[in-house]
Copies of this chain bind each other. A is one copy, B any other.
Amino acid sequence: MFVFVLEGIGEVVAGDDLAALIAGAAGTRLEHGDILAVTSKIVSKAEGRQVSAADREQAITDETVRTVATRAFPGGVTRIVENRQGLVMAAAGVDASNTPDGTVLLLPVDPDASARALCAALRESTGLRLGVIITDTVGRPWREGQTDIAIGAAGVAVLDDLRGTDDAFGRRLFVTVAAVADEIAGAADLVKGKTSGNPVAVVRGLEHLVNELDAADAHGATRLLRPIENDMFRVGSAEAHAEGFSEGYAAGLAAAAGDAASVAVVVE
């Protein structure tokens, strides 16, 4: 696998033709099976998702569909939320870095649709079978530091389902489904960096993951979003504890009042 950045894309502004900018920067360097990892920031800029920094807190609220956890820090509150795109991230993904002074960026409205349009345009203009992943940077529970993940994808499998294949001992692998799109996003981040002004990397050597835009496994990065009902960490520990405490308190009062019916209701 070979990963390199496309220099010379320069600053992106609302209305820019990203496919043309990327194709221009790539020149003749792209090949069949290449996967382009594109920082969501430039997609947001091209789509005009810039808002005034003065409205940042309101923007975070507007982008939030569900608060997962909050924690106060000196000077503010960290809000971990599920945003309109279904992603669980701090500040709903509203971003103040690498944006012009006085502005913040919202994530693309539909990163999979953005990836699909970009991939289709790049395949058209280059005649090459390419994949596109749109990346963003997130924190993780239990681990220090941040990694890049895939928030949009087109023309590339985001999960490599190894269940049903055999391990080196001929035993079936039952639970392994590799989140390859997230690993590709992380690999691209290693060469793009955060400060270099290189928003696009090319990942070569994974053509087995590149598929047709209408392939059965071309479901985009939304496929990487775990349904909340399957998630054991759907809210923060403190939030879940507080919710349980208030429910338990009401149940305790009701029990003391001998109101068995309401206990059953509260407890169930």
Q: Which residues of A does B touch, CB under 8 Å? A: 1-4, 11, 69, 71, 80, 87-88, 97-101, 137, 140-149, 158-159, 162, 165-169, 171, 173, 176-180, 182-184, 186-187, 189-191, 193-197, 205-206, 223-226, 231-257
What's the Cα separation between A71 and B232 when bound, in Å? Answer: 8
Q: Which residues of B contact A189 (CB under 8 A)?
A: 178, 183
Q: Which residues of B contact A254 (CB under 8 A)?
A: 252
Q: Least Cβ distance of A13 to chain B in Å?
A: 13
Asked whether A194 and B256 contact (CB < 8 A) given A143-B225, A177-B146, the answer is no
Asked whether A141 and B248 contact (CB < 8 A) given A97-B173, A147-B182, A173-B97, the answer is no
Contact of A186 among B4, B182, B206 (CB under 8 A): B182
**Contact between A241 and B240, CB atoms less than 8 A apart:** yes
Asked whether A173 and B194 contact (CB < 8 A) given A232-B238, A249-B252, the answer is yes
Number of identical protomers: 2
Contact of A179 among B145, B236, B249 (CB under 8 A): B145
6 interchain residue pairs of minimum CB distance = A252-B252, A248-B248, A244-B244, A145-B179, A256-B256, A183-B186
Q: Least Cβ distance of A237 to chain B in Å?
A: 4
**Contact between B98 and A232, CB atoms less than 8 A apart:** no
**Contact between A169 and B99, CB atoms less than 8 A apart:** yes
* Seed contacts A244-B244, A245-B245; 4 additional CB < 8 Å A-B pairs: A99-B169, A141-B226, A146-B177, A253-B255
What's the Cα separation between A112 and B152 when bound, in Å? Answer: 35
Pick the most buried of A88, A191, A240, A256: most chain B CB atoms within 10 A of its CB. A240
